[in-house]
Amino acid sequence: MRRRDALSPRQSADLEQARLACPDITQACNLARAFTDMVRHRRGHLLGEWIRQAERCDQAPIRSFASFLRQDFDAVTAGLTLVYSSGVVEGHVCRVKLLKRSMYGRASFTLLRARILTHHG
């Protein structure tokens, strides 16, 4: 999903040849590039139109992905629009779960609590 200007001349030629040979690839490439553009440039306001186009796609996986996005439309739009992220919190949750799994059946809750509160990494 590199930008077209980041492709080598050979890669551009191969992509163009594949697009000409198979209309499904052209449609999938166009939808993928539009979605990538939405993510990179935080253009959540375009999500509804992208989903409508993807739902008309001939390829079932793309239609399925669009349907999945529609199920949580507001959250996906917020993710594509707002600068806020829960990534740091999710990282801490992942770390706590890892500690919990590694200590399961081997130590007390008191020790788990101490490791969670004192772990710095």
| 79-102 pLDDT tens trace | 899 888 788 888 889 988 988 888
Check: pTM over 0.85? Answer yes or no: no
Q: How many CA atoms lie within 13 A of 54 on its CB side?
A: 24
CA angle 119, 107, 115 (to 5 degrees): 10
pLDDT digits (tens, 9 = 90+) for 33-60: 999 999 989 999 999 999 999 999 989 9
Cβ–Cβ < 8 Å for 44, 38: yes
